[in-house]
Amino acid sequence: MAKFKPKPRFKPYNHDQNAMVVINYQDQLQPGTFEHAVHYLIEHKLDLSVFYPKYRNEDTGRLAYDPAILLKIILFAYSRGITSSREMQWCCETNIQFKALSCETVPHFTTLAKFVSGHAEAIEELFEQVLLVCHEQGLLGNELFAIDGCKMSSNASKEWSGTFKELEEKRTKLRRLIRHHLKAHYERDEAETEVELDRDIRRAKTILSLDEALQKVDRFLKTNRPRMGRGKRSKEVKSNITDNESAKMTTSKGTIQGYNGVATVDKKYQVIIDAQAFGEGQEHHTLQPVLETVEARYKKLGIAKNIYQQNTVITADTGFANEANMQYLHERQINGYIPDNKFRSRDPKFQNQKAKYGKRHQNQTNTRWEDMSPDVGGGTGVRQHWHEQGVEPLQPAGPKKGPGSVAALLSGA
C-alpha cells in the first residue's frame, strides 16, 4: 500500500502579467562577440559599393534594403548554421540578436535568397576584403597553411547518377517497363468492374511517371557529354542527372552525392584564406588549384608577391598524397608536408593503435579499413570497406529504406 505523501511546494507563477521589458538593441552587440565583429566589419571596414551596380533605383523606384543589413543577417545566420532564407526571415522576427543586427527590419525570404544568388561575385570580392582586414590587423602569420577537405551532400540523389553507358541501360530499362505496362493496359482496356477500372487508372499513372523519368534521362543524355576523370589513365566518372557538377563520393558514413569542400587555413589565428568546392571524390586533384588560387589572391591583394617563396609551410593529409602533387611541390619549390598513405605502418606511434582505441585498426595494405564494433549499424557489425580504386562500401544490414519508385528503378534496386 502506497504511503500518503503531501504535495511538494513550488514557487508560484502567473501568466497574466503585463510586465514591459525594455531592450536596447545596441546592448545585444557586445564587443568580443561574433555578432559585434560582423556588425563592425560591415559598418566600418568593408566597401559595399561592389553591390551597387545591380541596383537601378537611383531616380525612381521603391527603396531597397541596404546590402549592409542583408549581409549582417546572412553572415550571422551562416555562423549559426542557418542557410535557409525562410529561417533567416523567421530569426529576424523572433531572435533578439538578429533584430539588433537587422535594425528590427524583417526582409522577406525571397529578398534574402535573391541577394545571395544575385551577388555571388560581389560576395567573393567581399571575402578578399575581409582577408585584407585580417592582414592589416596582423591576424595572418603566413608561416603555415593547413589544407583539408570535407565532403558535403548536394541536393541531388545518388540514384540518379551513373556513367553514360549505365544511364543508357537505364533508359532502355525504362522503355521496356513502359512497353510492358502499356501492353497490360491495352489487354485490360475493356474493363468492366470498378476494381478493374481502378487498377487501370493506377497503371496509367505508373506509365506517366515512368515516361517522365524516361524523358528526364533522355534529355540529359542528349544535352550532356560523359564526364572524364583526371590523371594519366582518365576514365569516365559517373554523371548525375539532377546536379552534374556534384559527384558520387565515399565518406565515413557511406556513399553520398555531393561536393568536396576544401579549405585552406592560416595557422596563426585559424583564418580561412581560401575555400572552394570541387565535384570530385578524390582530393588529389584539388591541391594544385587551391595552392594557385591562394598564390594569386595574395599577389592581387598585395599581401605577398610570391607567398611560397617566403618559406611558408603547406600541410595536407594523406588524401592529397600522390606522385603528381609531390612532383608539383618539388618543381615549384614549395615547402609542403603531405604524409603518404602508408605512414602509419612505418610510424611506431601507430603500432598500438588497435589496443589503444579498440574500435578501429588498419590492415596491412593500408587501403582498407574495417569497423569491427558490434554496436554500430543496429548491432549487425557493419563492415565499412574503403578502397582507393573507388569500390563502394557495403550497405548496413537491416530494412531497405530509400528513394521512391523511379529512383529505385534507376538504381537497379
Q: Which residues bind DNA (CB under 7 A)?
A: 54-57, 60-65, 83-87, 106-111, 113-114, 117, 155-157, 159-160, 177, 202, 205-206, 209, 216, 242, 257, 400-409, 413
Say how far apart CA 40 and CA 44 lie, in whole Å: 6
Minimum CB separation of residue 230 from DNA in Å reads 25
Comparison of 105 and 327: residue with beta carbon closer to DNA: 105
Nearer to DNA, 106 or 326 (CB): 106
- Least Å distance between CB 129 and DNA? 22
Q: Return the closest-CA partner of residue 104 out of 122, 92, 91.
A: 92
Q: Which is nearer to DNA, 75 or 140 (CB)?
A: 75
* ∠ CA 236-240-243, rounded to 5°: 130
| Residue with Cβ nearer DNA (111 or 129) | 111
Task: Provide the minimum distance between the beta carbon of 214 and DNA in the complex, in angstroms, as a whole number.
Answer: 13
Q: How far is the CB of 215 from DNA (least distance, A)?
A: 11
55 vs 343 by CB, closer to DNA: 55
Nearest Cα to Cα of residue 156 among 214, 242, 217, 278 = 242
Q: How far is the CB of 403 from DNA (least distance, A)?
A: 5
Q: Which is nearer to DNA, 327 or 405 (CB)?
A: 405
Compute the least distance from the CB of residue 199 to DNA, in Å.
Answer: 7
Our CB check for DNA shows the closer of 185 and 361 to be 185
Least Å distance between CB 245 and DNA?
A: 12
Rounded Cα gap, residues 387 and 385, in angstroms:
7
